[in-house]
Amino acid sequence: VLSSSIQVFLHIKKSLKRCSLLTRGQTLLDLARSFQSVLGAYAAKLVSRLEKAGRDVDTKEERFLRVLIINTAEYCYETVGGLGQSIAKMLDSELSDKIDMYQAEDDFSGVITTGIGSLVAGLGASVGAVTDKMSKTNWSAVELVGDVSLYVMELSAVVEAIPTEIGENLSSVHFRLFMDKLIPLVVDNLTGKIQKILPGCSTPALQQLLLDAQAIRSVLLGAGGNVGVVSKGLSGVERVIKGAMLGENGAGAGAGGGGPGGSGGNMGASGVAGGVGKKASAMASHLKFDKTKFDSKKLLDGMKSVKGKWNEKAKGYLNRHKG
């Protein structure tokens, strides 16, 4: 925590103790109330520092400072309650119920909320920069499914710092809150960008995007995301991609004709989506992340372990159904 917060409470406690040696009446109550204003001003100062760099700024230094301020606010929140109880005991009995620290608790709770929001916004801005590059890729030119796409590697580089820089320094409650806010932001951003590029995607590109979605699921879980939140979000992304695959292969089936059972030149739409989904799941299962040693290189190494078999099957599929 910031050392200034410790100094503030030490000063308050010493001043109150000295005053209580002289009087336990109205003067002590007035002093206690004046310190309530001091704590409110300190909370406002913490918020001001959070907003100084801008919510969309995401650097290692800013992440560290945001975590530090969140922890400071948490310390202040927990200390304020005990301080109020101590003051009530110092006051004359008829005045002990005249003091409460609820407003100060609310102020520091607000700092925590703002700090977590700043962390989420900063990481969200970095994720947005990655998906912007993804949306500028020429997906119509993709002819073969390969390793995970470059944007997945860049995304993993963004989030790989989360376990060490944030997870190890925030309380478990606040880290979970942070991740539960970050994951939907990442998913919404990714879904929006994918929906924009789908009309121009080739069939292999759709398969690649589905594989990428599985890899991103593992990336987010490796960073400490809640299994339920991650699964729900990425399942939505996969549904969007599979929906496009259904349309792509449905059109191909109608035009190709002549396949077994009248299915046309392409395999059945559900078979394409389901088959690619299973292969993507198998590839993602090779990713084993240690949250304390998570890095983007593991992602690529894991994917390369099954690249050969995946490419052979993808080539076979394209050769069989290119007509």
- Per residue in 145-160, pLDDT (tens digit) is 988 899 999 999 998 8
DSSP for 162-229 reads IIIIIITTS-HHHHHHHHHHHHHHHHHHHHHHHHHHGGG--HHHHHHHHHHHHHHHHHHHHTT--HHH
**220-241 mean pLDDT:** 90
Ranking 201-210, 261-270, 276-285 by mean pLDDT, the lowest is 261-270
Asked if residues 108 and 75 have their Cβ atoms less than 8 Å apart, the reply is no
Q: Is the pLDDT of residue 250 over 60?
A: no
Q: Report the pLDDT value the prediction gives residue 249, as an integer from 0 to 100.
A: 54
More confident residue, 319 or 44: 44
What is the rounded distance in angstroms from the CA atom of residue 268 to the CA atom of residue 166? 45
Tally of residues, the chain = 323
Q: Report the pLDDT value the prediction gives residue 285, as an integer from 0 to 100.
A: 44
